[in-house]
A and B are shown apart, each in its own frame.
Chain A
Amino acid sequence: MILKKDISKRMMIFLGILLIALVILPHVSTLSTTTLFSRIFIMAIYAMSYDILRGYMGFINLGHALFFGSGAYIVGILFNNIGNTVPMFLVAIVITLIYSSIAALIMGKIVFRSKGGGAASVVAGAMTTLALGEIVRHTAERWRDVTMGADGLSFRIPPVFADRTMFYYYALIFLIVMTLILRQFINSPTGRVLMSIRENEQRAEFLGFDTEKYKLIGLQVSGIASGFSGVMFGVMNRFVNTELLTVQQTLNALLITLVGGTGTLYGAIIGSGFVNIVQSQLLNFRRVHPIFERWLLFFGAMYVIVVIFMPKGFMGLYYSITDKRKSKLQNQTIKETSGKTS
């Protein structure tokens, strides 16, 4: 469940090749593929933000979409009402940061009141976050003057973001920067305390940690990352509606992390790639056979298969294979050493 900190030389080469491939991709693929990958990058950050809560803190947040949707709304409202310029985009980022911090603080103060981490408190916490998410969604739906209600809000974006290929590169940079920041956070002393809280909150307390404070920090970091991904998602789609604030949007993040591997951070990137590509392919198959009009059935089946055969997701499978290989090598070395000495 922990983040592997030491990246092997082989992995570095793989990541280098992958990066080169991703840089070349827009020049050798169709526009729809480029857009699909932009979506993958943004959703990966959204799922990573969820993984910090679910995988590293053991906290189920059913209202997580409120950060994502609000980020998209903030940028949309600013572009629509004040101006679609790059400085306004930066203002949207700052407002999202402040909004997400405050929203996470309020959510955390309500949810983290009950301590213990038992099943009842986890369920109560999840239900409370669901209710808070619904309050935000309902407010957005009713506040028609600003949000256009259930119809959604269309807006123009700054010309610099208008080119799909350029936006692909912005999304890629966004993914790399946010991954490094979140990785740093997880590997920091605060990240270690969050992992210890996930393991056993009472133990973390008698080690001298104010667990509520740490959980609030975790929720704020997660909320901010989710809000930022919402801003990028809004800019990519040039449209935002209340769908982005629903529990379904939260479940998307949960499912991506499940497929990729919970508590691995990088699993969110793989999960986002897998889920979005499968979804896109199933939608394309509608042209092949009418049965694919019911593509959600196949999509659901895919989740069931993944959960049955890879309960720890892709990254979990990868780690178990590499761990097995490592222990096999260790045992071999021990045998060889004892053979030489005897």
Chain B
Amino acid sequence: MSSLLKVNNLESYIGLFTILHDVNIDINKGEAVALLGRNGAGKTTFLKTLMNLVATRSGTIELNGESIVNVPTHKIAKMGIGYVPEDYGVFDALTVEENLRVAMWKDDKETLERLDYVLDLFPDLKIAYKRMAKTLSGGQRQMLSISRALVNKNQILLIDEPSKGLAPVVIEKLAHALKEISKNTTVLLVEQNFAMACAVADKFFIISEGRTVERGDIKSLMADKKLQHKHLGVI
């Protein structure tokens, strides 16, 4: 199977600091992949580098065999990478409806069907459809952020720590929704919550100090307590 997203020897930096030293990842179409690692390992920076929000120093990033290094962010998004940032990235002064509509590149039947799909997936948003985004709870904001990335026909979704700061019951709901999403879309999930990552992903990569150090099947990681403890601090 050919890779949908292939990253080789990636090195990226912010100002004077090199954050990613050597990241190597490949994701096939239809896979749900978890990117794991401790705080400060470089997971969020990796997603930002993919979106060209953080500068690449060396290495390659290919989407369907096409290089996306130094391609403007909006073009990367249009190539089919949906990005759900850590801070949700919703527009507070717009309503839920406007947040979703602003993200829609087209107004065609297919897009409207996808809009219906996300509203079915997250009924909370349907109820709060006319409400301002600033009045939503953390979980609802996360749902809105994910939905916004889903209304367009993306090839892959990059989701950054969706469980952060959410109540366990909301995390469970989100994990269920992400599992549903992963049936139709390739997902790269950055997650600190190991249980959530296991519930969603089939495959994993571990980043430590800006380097990919482990990879494999998520089931093997679930069985390997030593590895979990070493890189994720799971006791």
A87 interface residue (CB < 8 Å to B): no
Q: Which of A2, A207, A209, A211 meets B93, CB within 8 Å? A: A2
A200 interface residue (CB < 8 Å to B): yes
Chain B: which residue is nearest A6 at the CB level? B130
Residues of B within 8 A of A200 (CB): 89, 91
Docked-complex contact A205 and B93, CB < 8 angstroms:
no
Of A20-28, A32-40, A88-96, A191-199, the one contacting chain B is: A191-199
Say yes or no: A196-B91 contact (C-beta < 8 A), given A189-B101, A208-B105. Answer: yes
Q: Which of B72, B83, B92, B101 meets A192, CB within 8 Å? A: B101
How many whole Å from B198's CB to the nearest CB in chain A?
28
Docked-complex contact A206 and B91, CB < 8 angstroms:
no
B51 interface residue (CB < 8 Å to A): yes
Chain B: which residue is nearest A191 at the CB level? B102
- Separation of A210 and B71 alpha carbons in the complex (Å): 12
Docked-complex contact B53 and A206, CB < 8 angstroms:
yes
Docked-complex contact A208 and B152, CB < 8 angstroms:
yes
Residues of A within 8 A of B94 (CB): 2, 192, 195-196, 199
A156 interface residue (CB < 8 Å to B): no
Q: Which of B101-147 contact A (CB under 8 A)?
A: 101-105, 107
Say yes or no: A206-B98 contact (C-beta < 8 A), given A196-B91, A199-B91, A199-B92. Answer: no
Residues of B within 8 A of A1 (CB): 93
Residues of B within 8 A of A109 (CB): none
Name A's interface SS. Answer: helix
Count of B interface residues, CB-CB < 8 Å: 26
A184 interface residue (CB < 8 Å to B): no
Docked-complex contact A210 and B74, CB < 8 angstroms:
yes
- Separation of A193 and B98 alpha carbons in the complex (Å): 10
Q: Which of B30-89 contact A (CB under 8 A)?
A: 51, 53, 72-78, 83, 85, 89
Chain B: which residue is nearest A263 at the CB level? B93
B21 interface residue (CB < 8 Å to A): no
Chain A: which residue is nearest B90 at the CB level? A203
B148 interface residue (CB < 8 Å to A): yes
Docked-complex contact B53 and A202, CB < 8 angstroms:
yes
The contact size tier of chain A is: 20 to 34
Docked-complex contact A192 and B102, CB < 8 angstroms:
yes
Docked-complex contact B77 and A195, CB < 8 angstroms:
no
How many whole Å from B58's CB to the nearest CB in chain A?
23
How many whole Å from A199's CB to the nearest CB in chain B?
4
How many whole Å from A338's CB to the nearest CB in chain B?
16
Q: Which of B78, B89, B98 meets A203, CB within 8 Å? A: B89
Q: Which of A2, A189, A196, A205 meets B74, CB within 8 Å? A: A205
- Separation of A209 and B148 alpha carbons in the complex (Å): 13
- Most chain A CB within 10 A, of B74, B92, B95, is at B74
Residues of B within 8 A of A209 (CB): 74
Q: A2-B93, A208-B77 are in contact. List 10 more A-B contacts (CB 8 A).
A: A1-B93, A198-B93, A199-B92, A199-B94, A202-B53, A203-B89, A206-B53, A207-B74, A207-B102, A208-B152
- Which 10 A-B pairs give the minimum distances between C-beta atoms? A208-B77, A199-B91, A192-B102, A205-B73, A203-B89, A208-B78, A206-B83, A210-B74, A1-B93, A196-B102
| Interface residues in chain A, defined as those with a beta carbon under 8 Å from any beta carbon in chain B | 1-2, 189, 192-193, 195-196, 198-200, 202-211
**29 chain-A/chain-B pairs, Cβ below 8 angstroms:** A2-B93, A2-B95, A2-B98, A189-B101, A189-B102, A192-B94, A192-B101, A192-B102, A195-B94, A195-B102, A198-B93, A199-B94, A200-B91, A202-B53, A202-B73, A205-B73, A205-B77, A206-B53, A206-B74, A206-B76, A206-B77, A206-B89, A207-B148, A208-B74, A208-B78, A208-B152, A209-B74, A210-B72, A211-B74
| Interface residues in chain B, defined as those with a beta carbon under 8 Å from any beta carbon in chain A | 51, 53, 72-78, 83, 85, 89, 91-95, 98, 101-105, 107, 148, 152
